[in-house]
Amino acid sequence: MYTFPSAPSASSVRTPRPRTFRRLAGAAAAALAALVLTACQDGTGFKDGGAAATPDPASAPASAAPTAPATPATPADPATPAASAAPVTSAPGSAKNSAAPARSAEGGRVLCNGSNTAVTVQPVSRPLNHMLITVKNTGSKTCDLTYYPLLRFDEMQWAPAAREETKPQAVVSLAPGRSGYAAALLSAADGSGEGGTTGHRLTIAFQGPTPRSDGGASATPSLPAAGVHYDSALTVTYWQQTGEDALGS
């Protein structure tokens, strides 16, 4: 039967004595001192012995993340002009019912009003209770009569309405020296009108490019000495090219 050899006893194993370790440590210290002395005598310090040992990442101090280098600005394309720095200005707006517009909506023609026309009124016998209004262009440019005249007797607080059936197909334009016309029905022929009174002063206002807008200077034509009788039936026609069209005859 096979018998395993017995393990050596602790007393049979020999360990190095402390005196031996002291001799080895002394020899290593002497060699290191000789190396340092040689480097100092050379005057240049230690020579490069190759790449430095890589430090343990776990023991290295934390440092800030590296910053990416700034990207240089892309130069402008010389073929592309720079944006203009000129200030932007807005076109002035036109306020409604402000100062009289110098021109109408029709090309370069001006508006007819009290400053470039002569205005007269004349009561007529036919049709009954009608008055003819005549406007003559006294200026040097063709002018436009827009919409219909706005009548006001004395201090009247209401504006007579226009008869829509008299609206023309186009704006009435007057060459220098030419005349345009409108008619006013002063009172109801059957006596159905109310508030009848006699007017002694008449103001005629002109309209601009839009209804009821300011067309410029008004006119104050003379009335008969006895005045003009009117009532709630007072209405006017649109401007017409002829007196016959205005009176409907």
Residue extents of the structural domains in the chain: 110-243
174 Cβ contact list (under 8 Å, min separation 6)? 112, 117, 135, 136, 137, 142, 143, 144, 145, 180
pLDDT at 58 > cutoff 70: no
pLDDT at 10 > cutoff 80: no
pLDDT tens digits, 130-164: 999 999 999 999 999 999 999 999 999 998 999 99
pLDDT tens digits, 64-121: 444 444 444 444 443 333 333 333 333 333 333 333 444 444 567 899 999 999 999 9
**Cα 161 to Cα 87, 184, 222, 238, distances in angstroms:** 48, 10, 22, 10
Q: What confidence tier does 182 reach under pLDDT thresholds 50, 70, 90? A: very high
Whole-number pLDDT of residue 234 = 97
Whole-number pLDDT of residue 241 = 97
Whole-number pLDDT of residue 27 = 52
Name the residue among 239, 71, 62 with its Cα closest to residue 143. 239
Whole-number pLDDT of residue 189 = 87
